[in-house]
Chains A and B, each alone.
Chain A
Amino acid sequence: MLALQIKNISKKFNGFYAVKNFSLSVPEGTIYGILGPNGAGKTTTIRMIMNILVPDEGEILIFNKRMDDALKNRIGYLPEERGLYRKMKVFEVLSYFGELKGMSRKEISKKIDEWLSRIELIEWKNRKIEELSKGMQQKIQFISTILHSPDLIIFDEPFAGLDPINTNLLKDIMLELKKQGKTILYSTHLMEHAEKLSDYVALINKGEKVLDGKLSEIKAKFGKNLVLEFEGDNGFLKEIKGIKRIYNFGRYVELELKKETNPQDVLKEVVNKVKLIKFEVAEPSLNDIFIRVVGEEKNEIRKNH
């Protein structure tokens, strides 16, 4: 069953598309990453899911229903722009947000203690928000999103501004929630965050989806890359047959091979030409895949003109 279904939505601001003809299907119990550079349309999409913005075209279904007030209790939302009541105490803010999600008082106080302990901020329960550091506030806001055990959780840039330790803490919590059968949709502009976390990803650029699907399948589809590190001039690479594309990173190169090419043959040829330091057959990173897809698009545009 699908937790979230987006059907061909578009949104224009001042005559230009922020999101164009975007579709997405998020299966229940998965972690789905929306990836793309800044300004790609991730936040606009998420705001449309939350019904904060209304799409000009298209339809969004959550658990097969259009968004309504009753559904809001089953959803947790962490907006990109963070904010808490600065003058209120930590537990007061969490209680208020919990109450607005229809939780009972008893449930709220139990959950607050549980989650504050989990993120190691339990001693801060009676402190005012303004006394907390930015990172602490971020974590408080994070748990305020999941306090009511929502079935669908939407995080807009959940890791922005967090140190690696806290980033990992939140990732762990997200994986735990998935185990409990929750569905998570999140956005990020840092592709490496998505690598181990996501079951599914959608890459979006300039308001349009460029690629989506199961992460493992996407990686398989893009084949294996050859990573070479060597001493000497890389001019010889042009002579080697069976290479589709070369990504030159200076100190090392990544080679995208044609389907029929055997990496062993390439190795043989390279060994004869330069002093090899590293030779690796690797899955392409999401970063590579994104650059590849967007790059191809650019090339095609160039060809057409």
Chain B
Amino acid sequence: MKLGKIIKKEYLTIVKKKSFLISTLITPFIMGALIFLPVYLAQFGMETQKKIAVIDLTKELFPELVKNLDRKLKSGQPVYKLIQIKAIREDLNKIKNLLKNKVEEKEYYAYLILPEDIIKKREAEYYSKNVSDLQTIEEISEGITSSIAKLLLKKEGVEPNKVDELMKRVTLKTIKIIKGKEKKTGFLSEYFGLIFLVSLLFGLMLGYGMTIMRNILEEKNARIVEVLLSSTNPFELMMGKIIGIGSAGLTQMLIWIILGMAGFLYASYRFPKPHIMTFNFSFTMVIFFLIFFILGFFLYASIFAIVGAITNTDYEAQQLAGPITWFLIVPFIIAFMTTRNPNGIIPVIFSFIPFFAPIVMFMRISVIQPPFYEILISVITIILTIIFTIWISSKIFRIGILMYGKRPSIKELIRWVKYR
């Protein structure tokens, strides 16, 4: 059970690092901010408090109106700040001129005149520079209507408490229909949501793959390998590292998923309107995300293990890791195409090529469920490739980790693989 011991050590070494804790906790906040900030800004960011002057000629409607127009801004302040201007019919024109100037000077957003006969005629006057602000106009007229209704009920002798209860507003609980494809999310938001998830997949595979490379290099340079090999064999050592470090990555991802779910729940509570959420965390998506992370990780980890084993310095390793990174970037180049037409010929082909498959297949799945057999082919191809790359890298690893000095040529590497 030495494999278990190696896994444990490699896992704990990473998880106990401060940088792990920090990146695990900070990344979701940055991601959350990146996703929700634009949405948030679009929804509420532009709205500021509107000062509205009210000339109440009925002399009884104003208090009721203030109570009715009580919608609050994000900051907790009321959206409409109503200021009562005392006036009588005779002074009206003078005051109107005064207020017109104040609106002009933007001291008031608008002014409102509630005539004495408003209850009978149901007409009021609203003066503003912007009369196409439908939401405001709608809300104010609705506010006046219910104020009048409340006032009348009270006059009829109904208890004020009772009136409030009778006139209680109905709020619409909004529920989004997802399964029936009635999703109102646009193509662009779908694309960005996808790119976000895929970037996460890419970042984790690359990040933890590189960690394995550096870890091997470090042990090689610290000359610890020989001691370890006197207790275990190279294959066990390599697999222990891959599994241990991979588990650390998985741990980080699970934490993120939990935080993501929590964030999603919070967001749907906070911004219930259907067009706000740009993409969905669904259970199947999480499962596929995990599957393709694990597959992609093993594939790239075994390749990065080779790099770590055959190089001697960080610089050298970085240089060699470059081309491998390009393999991971290719899916991004076809990402737009994949989102547009996930069953197009190029996305389908790329989702069967093992080095691109983890990301491309995941992209396709997240846009539209491809046929099950296609997913299966993709997964099996990747698994077969993993078995092959791990076999190759264990051959190269056992020799490479004890070799110092010049980097071996391809010819030498092939000889190492053939070596018994």
Contacts and interface: CB of A to CB of B under 8 A. Distances in A.
Interface of A: 47, 50, 52-54, 69, 72-73, 75-77, 79, 81-86, 88, 96-97, 99-102, 141, 144
B223 A100 contact: no
A150 to B, nearest CB: 10
Contact of A69 (B9, B219, B227, B233): B233
A77 B232 contact: no
Nearest to B1: A102
B226 A79 contact: yes
7 contacts: A52-B226, A69-B232, A69-B233, A72-B232, A76-B230, A85-B224, A96-B5
A293 B229 CA distance: 36
B222 A52 contact: no
A86 B13 CA distance: 12
B2 interface: yes
B231 interface: yes
B262 interface: no
Contacts of B368: none
B149 interface: no
Q: B13, B223, B226 — which one has the most chain A CB atoms within 10 A of its CB?
A: B226
B402 interface: yes
Contacts of B219: 83
Interface residues of B, number: 19
Nearest to A93: B224
B257 to A, nearest CB: 30
A84 B228 CA distance: 10
The 6 A-B pairs of least Cβ separation, nearest first, read A83-B223, A77-B230, A100-B231, A79-B226, A81-B223, A83-B222
A249 B9 CA distance: 56
Interface in B368-420: 402, 420
Contacts of B301: none
Contact of A101 (B6, B224, B226, B231): B231
Contacts of B9: 96, 99
B303 to A, nearest CB: 24
Nearest to B230: A77
Contacts of B420: 54
Interface in B269-324: none
B9 to A, nearest CB: 5
Given A88-B13, A102-B2, A141-B227, 12 more contacts: A52-B230, A52-B402, A53-B402, A54-B420, A72-B230, A79-B230, A81-B226, A83-B223, A83-B227, A100-B2, A100-B232, A144-B227
